[in-house]
Structure 1
Amino acid sequence: MVLLVYVDDILLASNDATTISDFTSFLNSKFCLKGLGPTKFFLGLEVARSKQGLSLSQRKYTLEILQDTGFLAAKPAHFPMDSNLKLSRDNGSLLEDPTSYRRLIGRLLYLTITRPDITYSVQVLSQFMSSPRQPHLDAAHRILRYLKSASGQGLFYPVVCDLQLKGFCDSDWVGCIDSQRSTTGYCTFLGDSLILWKSKKQSTISRSSVEAEYRSMASTSCEIIWLLSLLRDFAVPHSQPALLLCDSTAALHIAANPVFHERTIHIELDCHFIREHIQNGVIRTMHVTSHHQLRDVFTKALGCALFTFLISKMNFLNIHSS
């Protein structure tokens, strides 16, 4: 049984109904609780069940954002950010009242819990919270128009799943025009279910695209190791190696090559970390073509066609669509 507590909200999960009933009775003997039955709504997350699986979305929360910002009747957009858009901390006029921008980005950050498709765009805009400018606000409004096109879209977790853990990692070398730092992006699947994703600017400057890719591989490997330990805690067997997919053949060669040279000495710790888990059979690296690199959604702004194609591979579901 798993017990999740957030302030005064409690969520119980178990494969034994008797266990939940006994534990609920014990809690009722100590505290004054109100049981709401099977989970349908929890901290803004809407849960829908069927014989095929479970769906998570934040439709009500999304509609509240659109209504509060006046975008409920706006013209929808088909993707969250223009691929040709280059945002900087110095271009454009400063906003007279930055509070509304900060509040909007904060609400969008919480929305990324079930909307990985806007993770990269929100991550970029969150870098300008201290002194937002008009282009940043315009880009945030573009995200709102994209949300208008599918407010009920969320993640779907099917009942039948092979429980194979696989992670896609990627990087956008020198993606930030202000700091020249690269962007790390990864997403992890359990079978066909997307369970973890991230888009983050790297903490140091990478001197080559291979170094940026390898740092992304190291970050994804850390998350995979953590997920494997979490599966063990949940008594979920995972005997086969977890797959780590990358589109950089150079980074894959470094992971497989035990010889260090001057080009990789500055990322030696990452090399040792990844190679150790490969040799122990915990992780197995694989090459994936750039066209099928799902992690591109989390590292760069994409055009409509490629964005729609990659999003279709992530098991999204809009239960409110016709």
Structure 2
Amino acid sequence: MEEELSALELNRTWTLVDCPPKVKSIGCKWVYKIKRLPDGSIQRYKARLVAKGFTQTEGVDFLETFSPVVKPATIRVVLALASIRQWPVQQLDVNNAFLHGDLSEIVYMALPPSFSSNQPNQCCRLLKSLYGLRQSSRMWYAKLSTLLISCGYQQTDFDYNLFIKIENKEISLLLVYVDDILITRNSPSEMATIKKILDDHFKIKDLETLKYFLGIKVAHSSKCISLSQHKYCLDLLSDCGLLGAKPAKSPMDSSTKLSQDDSPLLQDPFIYRDLVGRLLYLITTRPDITYATQQLSQFMATPTQAHYQAALRVLRYLKNSPSRGLFFPRNSTLQESPSFHGRQRNKQLSLVLPLKLSIAPLPTPLVSFCGS
């Protein structure tokens, strides 16, 4: 908590002012989280001061929102390209990313818990964005994208969180997921340059070679790059109490056709919605459950017992092979298209990848990492 307050003070996030009359300042609170490594061990304890953005009023203290989240398909394409071209893939983490955004609206916040002022009736006039504000992610993205564009990067039309820089025969790809950044490039010098620029402006943690990203384990070898959500899959099975369940051979029973039938409704539909939402995220590395999950997602409004049992069958199928994931072989072929459907703006990279992607067991190190 002391480190967080020091960072806020150093960044000049707010200034203390007398609360204006008839203005209700938004509240704030401390949020605590345990950051873990891929094997489940504790990496560090984290405390963050978060504004209660749910009390903000649109048009008064925020106007627009946007969250810089790269598409899963874009991540897979970039990693496939890096695998084929033998490019290194490195990961950066921005320290207190949202605190770098400059607010354009006037926002007043109550004093943080355990934080006092010598004068009564004072509050914080926010100068920089703070975690929890509706516009925080938009302000951070605006500052980051402006910096990258000034460095010669261009946003792609198909994903605004993919930045590409092409100079002569050197190609650099940069992916943004909130405050996590992935970089791959055929030139080590440019990678070092952009790292220094980002560190000078925002202060970053250089995590070097990509190993764990958004709950996805990334393994590199001379033959491939493989992706797996093994731990995520096991956590899902554990939360649903199915670690000891009998595995299923397929995600759905071929004789079952889901519909809005007359079977009893679930007493708590949130359980079903939460389960389907977690399955939707698992599709990132398990396209074999895509069809089943798409069918289940059609009944989120009024799920029944039959729908819930069908969802549990998907989990029993995952129990059969929780270590499976995507396999990007390094000997695949690559074709580069000079245009993107004839509507390419500026100078962008368009990729057509006949990659022979498949669902396959991951290399031995990843399988043995998770045990069964």
Q: Per the shorter chain, which TM-score range?
A: 0.5 to 0.7
* Structure 1 position 316 matched with structure 2 position 364: no
Native 8 Å contact 2:324 2:359 kept in 1: no
Q: Secondary structure at the match of 2:208?
A: coil
Q: Secondary structure at the match of 1:75?
A: coil
Alignment of 1:1-322 (within 5 A): 1-163=172-334, 233-234=348-349, 314-319=358-363, 320-321=366-367
Native 8 Å contact 2:326 2:357 kept in 1: no
Q: Which amino acid aligns with 1:39?
A: L
Quick one: distance in 2 between partners of 1:117 and 1:26? 41
Following superposition, the deviation at residue 321 of structure 1 comes to: 4.3
Quick one: distance in 2 between partners of 1:229 and 1:120? 32
Aligned to 1:195: none
Q: Secondary structure at the match of 1:139?
A: helix
Following superposition, the deviation at residue 23 of structure 1 comes to: 0.7
Q: C-alpha deviations, 1:245-291, integer Å up to 9, x for none?
A: xxxxxxxxxxxxxxxxxxxxxxxxxxxxxxxxxxxxxxxxxxxxxxx
Stretches (4+) displaced over 6 A: none
Quick one: distance in 2 between partners of 1:70 and 1:26? 47
Q: Secondary structure at the match of 1:34?
A: strand
Q: C-alpha deviations, 1:124-170, integer Å up to 9, x for none?
A: 000000000011000100000111111110011111112259xxxxx
Q: Secondary structure at the match of 1:124?
A: helix
Aligned to 2:68: none
Following superposition, the deviation at residue 86 of structure 1 comes to: 1.2
Q: TM-score, normalised by structure 2?
A: 0.47
Q: Which amino acid aligns with 1:36?
A: L
Native 8 Å contact 1:76 1:148 kept in 2: yes
Quick one: distance in 2 between partners of 1:123 and 1:38? 34
Q: C-alpha deviations, 1:163-182, integer Å up to 9, x for none?
A: 259xxxxxxxxxxxxxxxxx
Q: How many residues align?
A: 192
Aligned to 2:146: none
Q: TM-score, normalised by structure 1?
A: 0.54
Q: C-alpha deviations, 1:30-68, integer Å up to 9, x for none?
A: 112111110001111111010001001111111111111
Check 1:234–1:225 CA distance in 2 against 1; reply closer, same or farther (3 A cut). Answer: closer
Check 1:315–1:68 CA distance in 2 against 1; reply closer, same or farther (3 A cut). Answer: closer
Quick one: distance in 2 between partners of 1:149 and 1:98? 27
Check 1:107–1:163 CA distance in 2 against 1; reply closer, same or farther (3 A cut). Answer: same
Quick one: distance in 2 between partners of 1:314 and 1:110? 18
Native 8 Å contact 1:155 1:315 kept in 2: yes
Q: Secondary structure at the match of 2:209?
A: coil
Greater share of residues in helix: 1
Q: Which amino acid aligns with 2:275?
A: L
Percent identity reads 46
Superposed CA RMSD in Å reads 3.0
Following superposition, the deviation at residue 313 of structure 1 comes to: 8.0
Native 8 Å contact 1:77 1:146 kept in 2: yes
Native 8 Å contact 1:150 1:318 kept in 2: no
Structure 2 unmatched runs, 5+: 1-171
Native 8 Å contact 1:53 1:158 kept in 2: yes
Check 1:98–1:2 CA distance in 2 against 1; reply closer, same or farther (3 A cut). Answer: same
Q: Which amino acid aligns with 1:317?
A: P
Quick one: distance in 2 between partners of 1:229 and 1:72? 49
Quick one: distance in 1 between partners of 2:357 and 2:220? 21
Following superposition, the deviation at residue 20 of structure 1 comes to: 0.9
Aligned to 1:264: none
Native 8 Å contact 1:55 1:317 kept in 2: no
Q: C-alpha deviations, 1:217-246, integer Å up to 9, x for none?
A: xxxxxxx966x979x83476x7xxx99xxx
Q: Secondary structure at the match of 1:85?
A: coil
Q: Which has the larger radius of gyration?
A: 2
Quick one: distance in 2 between partners of 1:66 and 1:225? 41
